[in-house]
Amino acid sequence: MSEQIKPHVDEEDGRLYFNYHVGAELEFTTAAGKRFRLRIVDCEYENGTEYYFLESAGKLLPTRFSVDKLKKQLTAAPYEVIDEGELQELPLLVEEVQLYYQERIKELNFDNAEANKKLNGTEYKSLVRAASSLKKRLMLAEADGREEDAAQIRKDLSENEAKRSKILADKGIDYKVLTKVKDCEICGDTGIVDGKICECALERTEQIKAFNAALRLAELAGT
Ligand SMILES: [Zn+2]
């Protein structure tokens, strides 16, 4: 396998771009002195490779060119640039999503540990245990048809709940952070489903791109 040309990393913004510009128009002169133009009409990124759709003499070529093939074509003969075209950013990549979500999970675990620390020395954890045994007592009372007992247990449970809510509010703790509730049930907060980017990650495209750009810039700076 020949070496694959990697996407271009912009040293200013740290983001990934296609190597060639869409809209670029180049004029070649053949050995016989004939001129013809090649235009990049579109690009796409698939399985780690850049592909380009080209128009030659006004006609769309039937097959797309990989970045390697396009480079070979462009180095084979001299040409004049008629139009520079426009720089295109790569779409959101699975690798970028993974890096972002891994960091996000670390952050959530950190917040969760902080929340648990804040609850030390409070009644919260014993209230959780008490609630769990109250729930079982309630099931038994209901199964046995002891209505009066059940009513009392329900009352105790709701008091227990109110106390817990108050502790969380006083300590400024988010229940979702404390119980590690997943934001996305589809991907379980990994950002990836069946090897594809989850909807929740697509919604965060800009954040994910910005995070990865910052990582690349830090790498370029050697930090
Ligand atoms: Zn998701």
| Rounded distance between C-alpha atoms, residue 189 and residue 45, angstroms | 25
202 alpha carbon to ligand 1 midpoint, in Å?
Answer: 9
Asked whether the predicted pLDDT for residue 3 surpasses 80, the reply is: no
Tens digits of residue pLDDT in 177-220: 999 999 999 999 999 999 999 999 999 999 999 999 999 999 99
What token pair was written down for 59? 């006609």
* Phi and psi based region of residue 106 (left: phi greater than 0; alpha: psi -120 to 50; beta: remaining): alpha
CATH hierarchy code of domain 8-83? 3.10.600
Asked whether the predicted pLDDT for residue 2 surpasses 70, the reply is: no
Tens digits of residue pLDDT in 157-171: 999 999 999 999 999
Tens digits of residue pLDDT in 76-91: 888 999 999 999 999 9
179 alpha carbon to ligand 1 midpoint, in Å?
Answer: 18
186 alpha carbon to ligand 1 midpoint, in Å?
Answer: 5
